[in-house]
Amino acid sequence: MTQDAYIAIGSNLGDRAAYLRQAVRSLDAAGGNNVTACSPVYETEALVLDDAPQPPYLNAVVRLSTMLSPTSLLMLCHEIELAAGRIRDGRRWAPRTLDLDILLLGSLSVSTPVLTIPHRELVNRRFVLKPLSDIAPDLLLPDPINKAVADALADCADSHDLRPYDNIFAANPSEPAPAPFPRNEATPFDTFDFNARHDIL
Ligand code: AMP
């Protein structure tokens, strides 16, 4: 059984548009996955902890039809980030070639030490809620949020500016579609029965 996942994608290093396009191709190319919608793209100033300036982000949200379990989807996101040269040095809010966050997975609520769905910061970030609202305004956000995406956006206190960016996901006949990042096919990916109860995700 497939479910719709909503994934936030962002980049503020290197060829940001190319990383986002390749991330979408890579999410789509993984077994059983199908990207069914891409939001408009926005440029936003980076959140910084220590006043050290950072390049601005490109942000978007994609809808992904998937059979992957929550943990497998997280592993896939990490694998794609790594393939994009993402360096995890433990610094919070460090600049990054590619960041993939699982916002939602069906109507599932998950809370484990490594994974929280709905994403913990979802309702606090306009750069996530706005593109999500562009493609799914009426979607009901599950526990513990329990409101529609458009209502969450209206209630969001974050006032950071979002600058509409080019439609980088539109097919360009003069350019070949980007290849997905190479996959580590050895990674075991579980599918997930969303109708069953799961103690181990
Ligand atoms: P980030 O720095 O945004 O890549 O996220 C750091 C960590 O957040 C990841 O290694 C995950 O274990 C954890 N995490 C918790 N919930 C989520 C989620 N919904 N999507 C992605 N990462 C998550």
pLDDT tier for residue 90 given thresholds of 50, 70 and 90: confident
Task: Give the pLDDT confidence score for residue 184 in this predicted structure.
Answer: 72
Active site (annotated) includes residue 96: yes
Rounded to the nearest angstrom, the distance between the alpha carbon of 151 and the centre of ligand 1 is 24
DSSP conformation letters of 139-155: PEETTTT-EEHHHHHHH
Q: One of 63, 96, 125, 126 is an active-site residue; which one?
A: 96
Atom 12 in ligand 1: residue holding the nearest Cα: 114
Mean pLDDT of 184-198: 69
Distance (Å, whole) CA 149 – CA 152: 5
DSSP conformation letters of the chain: --EEEEEEEEE-SSSHHHHHHHHHHHHHHSTT-EEEEE---EEEPPP-SSS---PPEEEEEEEEEE-B-HHHHHHHHHHHHHHTT----S-TT---S-EEEEEEETT--EE-SS-EES-TTGGG-HHHHHHHHHH-TTPEETTTT-EEHHHHHHH-------EE---TTS--TTSPPPPPPPP-TTS---B--TTS--S--
Residue 80 reports pLDDT greater than 80: yes
Rounded to the nearest angstrom, the distance between the alpha carbon of 115 and the centre of ligand 1 is 6
Distance (Å, whole) CA 53 – CA 47: 9
Residue 172 reports pLDDT greater than 90: no
Distance (Å, whole) CA 154 – CA 40: 18
- Residue 117 in contact with ligand 1 by CB distance below 6 A: yes
Mean pLDDT value across the chain: 90
Distance (Å, whole) CA 12 – CA 141: 28
pLDDT tier for residue 86 given thresholds of 50, 70 and 90: confident
Atom 18 in ligand 1: residue holding the nearest Cα: 102
pLDDT tier for residue 186 given thresholds of 50, 70 and 90: low
Task: Give the pLDDT confidence score for residue 201 in this predicted structure.
Answer: 56
Q: Which domains does the chain have, with CATH numbers?
A: 3-172 (3.30.70.560)
Active site (annotated) includes residue 183: no
What pTM did the predictor assign? 0.91
pLDDT in tens, 110-147: 999 999 999 999 999 999 999 999 999 999 999 999 99
